[in-house]
Amino acid sequence: MNAHQQPTGSAYFLDTSKKTVETHTLAVVADNEPGVLARIIGLFAGRGYNIDSLTVSETIHDKHVSRFTIVTTGTPSVLTQIRHQLERMVPVHSVADLTVQGNSIARELAMVKVAGGGEKRMEALRLADAFRARVIDASTESFIFEITGKPDKVDQFISLMVPIGLVEVSRTGVAGISRGPEGMKV
């Protein structure tokens, strides 16, 4: 792909592909003002960064403060640059790289709709039990399961549901938080 774009040593062709690409989870605390989501997404799109997952919700209602969890991939220098670019945005209060801090927790919620009858229904329930997924809706031909956990656990559950009769999935994306008594600067 793009074989003609050989690295030349120019800033235009900083060759990041040869360096190790890492996946990091960033937590961003920002004012919940109109356009703040567009601003953050626009930064990633405009500067060519990746977004693997993004979740956002207002977390302190009376102060109108929102918290984003962004999962992104890049070389270490690109990841540092992403953090600095986020930090200099006017409505952003603070940014934490949860992966660099280590010892953080990431969870995701998914709703998984599975259809089928007979033995497949029983198999779906057995697997759901093993994964601690709850049935939140049922009809004679279908279930909807709610599963919470690390993204790879959710992935695994979904892949097991495929042969049973997976219809559709709705996932929230990853929410992250650091362990211990310390909190992020608000």
Partner 1 sequence: MVTGELMSGAEIVLKALADHGVEHVFGYPGGAVLPIYDEIFQQDKVKHVLVRHEQGATHAAEGYARSTGKCGVVLVTSGPGATNAVTGLTDALLDSIPMVCLTGQVPTHLIGNDAFQECDTVGITRPCTKHNWLVKDVNDLARILHEAFYVATHGRPGPVVVDIPKDVQFAKGRYVGPKNIEHKTYRPQVKPNQDAIRAAVELIAKAKRPLLYTGGGVINSGVIASKLLREFVKMTNIPITSTLMGLGAYPASGKNWMGMLGMHGTYEANMAMHDCDVMINVGARFDDRITGRLDAFSPGSKKIHIDIDPSSINKTVQVDIPVVGDVAHALEDMIRVWKAKSHELEKKAMQAWWKEIDGWRAKDCLKYKANKDVIMPQYAIQRLYELSRDREVYITTEVGQHQMWAAQFFKFEDPHHWMTSGGLGTMGYGLPAAVGVQMAHPKALVVDIAGDASVQMTMQEMSTAVQYRLPIKIFILNNQYMGMVRQWQQLLHGNRLSESYSESLPDFVKLAEAFGCVGLRAEKPAELDDKIREMIKTPHPVLFDCRVASLANCFPMIPSGKAHNEMLLGEDVSDAEVGSAIDAKGKELV
List residues near partner 1 by CB under 8 A.
Answer: 4-6, 8-14, 31, 34-35, 38-39, 42, 46, 77, 80-81, 84-85, 87-93
Using CA atoms, how far apart are residues 26 and 98, in angstroms rounded to an integer?
6
What does the alpha-carbon distance between residue 26 and residue 84 come to, in Å, rounded to a whole number?
A: 12
Q: How far is the CB of 8 from partner 1 (least distance, A)?
A: 4
β-strand partners of 178: 104
Tokens of 1: 């792909």
**How far separated are the first and last CA of the chain, in Å rounded?**
43
Number of Cβ atoms within 10 Å of the Cβ of 67: 21
Toward partner 1, which CB reaches closer, 5 or 159?
5
Nearer to partner 1, 83 or 121 (CB): 83
- For partner 1, the closer CB: 15 or 168: 15
Least separation in angstroms between residue 126's CB and partner 1 is: 50
Least distance (Å) between residue 69 CB and partner 1: 20
